[in-house]
Structure 1
């Protein structure tokens, strides 16, 4: 078996690499640019219609949603630039001062037509068209080539459906959860003994550095959310988006609470140095509690990123059991801290902060709390999508109605035949 796995490892690595965004983007862009150039050779009066492959190259993105939005904005930018160039060619022609006015006017028009990041493309198109002799023919040829490139770029993503990047986003979320777990385990181990303030401060810096992992996970999730929008391969895109987004938000909250906990332990280490942070039994209980919460964080990430219902049920059962055990350990820690407070009231506010912070993480990971938030976010996301794309949703409802029409007709026929 090990030999078989070793031999199959390169093939598996190659298969995964074919789904990487860079490889997929390169292949799709090359195909779109080539096809657009071939079509433009037959339709455009230009000898080298490079605007068509350039447009296709810029329009084609990794996701279908990005292709649609970028295609529309780029076509608007090019057409606006061409119209500005035609107006300037008829009025003033090309001089150094008219070029400056052209750039200012083009950038202003770009903001007016709301082409976002393609505002410079308006000025580029205007300068390219104004710089030639036969302005009229070149202008409309450029518009034609732009339309060809945009249509080809869109067609590539319709014919060759872009991948759904949910799996990659899930891996990023799980990796974030494992990093949180490792740091939480180290914090718990050190809190159970004599922790120098320098060591506690280093754990605080590590907790702050988790922000970079959150940014990376958020970028991967944004790509996954774009790949789910308007993708014909996805049936419940809104649900997938909401599940992943709320899961990442919960992990981010746990990361913030862990950073606050690390700061509390750092302050406690400064106050009690060279004494231990907690008595032996209290420190051991806190270490065990943080270990249980750390395991629950990973189980939560697995639950969020699991798509198969059987695996999701197992992950939810495991998470529920871990949170139940963590709640029992928390209650024991609360009693120990209360007993300690009755004997020694020093740093009582820091001890209370520790209990508050671990309790906050348990509440955030609670399955009932998550279910309620999922329902709220799902309703909100559905309302936002409907308000942003009302025509698409009306068309989708009509399509669903037409698809159900034959079933209703069959039911009506069976009902009439039964009455007769």
Structure 2
């Protein structure tokens, strides 16, 4: 039994290793660069045509969309630099002032042709070509090697399509939701008992540290969004991107409200120390309410990361039930807080703020609110696409449409 568990753990680590973006990028880049070098050896007159593998190394990215974007920009930058060098070498030779002019002109041309991160490559290509006598030969050799590397990089990602990194982004979103849940549970425990000011302040620091988790999840989500663009294996790339992005936006709003809630509890602890934050009955209801909200946060993350319609429907039903229960507990808490404030109006602003902040979190995760947000985002993306490519969009609208394939799971999201 122990050997079987060890074997299963080793297999799981191997699968995770093969799915790691860093490992995948290293293996794909090395393979593409080697293939580009072998091809360039047969075509280029240079003994060591390193421009081809260098281009392939820079072109091959973790996602197909990034590969296409990088390939076009790099070829654009190299060709622009070669043309600038040819133009200058026909008029002036290589000197300190001509080199300075070439660099300035190349950087300017790089911005004009929108080379973006490869603007420096325009100047590098121009300097290398201008620095030799047989500039015409070197120019064409450099262009050919660049085209070889770019073609190999693009073909590598087209033939061996890179992974879709949706699972990694979904896992990051669920992990963020679990951290929010743990913080809510600890805050509920503090509200139910005597909490020192420094302990409440520690929860506030934990809530602030969630901003770093949001940044890491956003990075994973951006990679997942790029992997869905132009990927032939994905049917509903736009829908998947919008579902995940709006889900992360909702969780980010919840973390902001949670930070405000932690601030209110910290201020309340300072004002009431050494007394408890709330009475025993009210504290118990707050603990239960935050526990129910914490469970709803996890269910919400499962909903936005569910791929199959059946899983999404069950997650939506569970989330709806949990939000309904949390709303009922919230209404009971409102009555108890109102009675307490009437008896003792001290710190009523902070006690009311706790209720308002919980209301905001519940409202953000409401399924109807989420449906409206999804429709708004889909409409916005459609309008932006029509504005960017009006002719292509008009042609696609005139084409006959096929059934309703690929809409599975749309309703639940």
Shorter-chain TM range is over 0.9
Alpha-carbon RMSD? 1.7
- Structure 2 match to 1:32: 32
Provide Cα deviations, 1:280-327, integer angstroms capped at 9, x if missing partner.
111111111001000100010011111122222221111111111100
CA-CA distance at 1:117 after TM superposition: 0.7
- Structure 2 match to 1:415: none
- Structure 2 match to 1:414: none
- Structure 2 match to 1:171: 171
Out of 363-372 and 226-235, give the one that drifted further. 363-372
Provide Cα deviations, 1:169-211, integer angstroms capped at 9, x if missing partner.
0000000000101111111111111111111111111100000
1:365-380 residue pairs with structure 2 within 5 A? Answer: 365-380=365-380
Three-state SS of the structure 2 residue aligned to 1:80 is helix
1:7-406 residue pairs with structure 2 within 5 A? Answer: 7-389=7-389, 393=393, 401=400
Retained in 2: the 8 A contact 1:60–1:154? yes
Out of 251-260 and 29-38, give the one that drifted further. 29-38
Give, in whole Å, the separation in 2 of the partners of 1:394 and 1:72: 26
CA-CA distance at 1:4 after TM superposition: 2.7
CA-CA distance at 1:7 after TM superposition: 1.7
- What 5-or-longer segments of structure 1 have no aligned partner? 405-420
Give, in whole Å, the separation in 2 of the partners of 1:252 and 1:108: 40
Give, in whole Å, the separation in 2 of the partners of 1:191 and 1:280: 9
Retained in 2: the 8 A contact 1:194–1:274? yes
Retained in 2: the 8 A contact 1:238–1:382? no
Retained in 2: the 8 A contact 1:106–1:126? yes
Three-state SS of the structure 2 residue aligned to 1:103 is helix
Give, in whole Å, the separation in 2 of the partners of 1:21 and 1:247: 23
Provide Cα deviations, 1:198-243, integer angstroms capped at 9, x if missing partner.
1111111110000000000000000000000000000000010000
Retained in 2: the 8 A contact 1:320–1:367? yes
Three-state SS of the structure 2 residue aligned to 1:234 is coil
Indicate how the Cα distance of structure 1 residues 276 and 359 shifts in structure 2: closer, same or farther if over 3 A, else same: same
Three-state SS of the structure 1 residue aligned to 2:4 is helix
Three-state SS of the structure 2 residue aligned to 1:232 is coil
CA-CA distance at 1:6 after TM superposition: 2.7
Out of 85-94 and 58-67, give the one that drifted further. 85-94
- What 5-or-longer segments of structure 2 have no aligned partner? 404-413
Provide Cα deviations, 1:12-47, integer angstroms capped at 9, x if missing partner.
221221121112112211221122222222222323
Give, in whole Å, the separation in 2 of the partners of 1:182 and 1:343: 33
Task: Give the number of equivalent residue pairs.
Answer: 403
**TM-score between both structures, scaled by the size of structure 1:** 0.92
Give, in whole Å, the separation in 2 of the partners of 1:164 and 1:2: 34
Out of 118-127 and 30-39, give the one that drifted further. 30-39
**TM-score between both structures, scaled by the size of structure 2:** 0.94
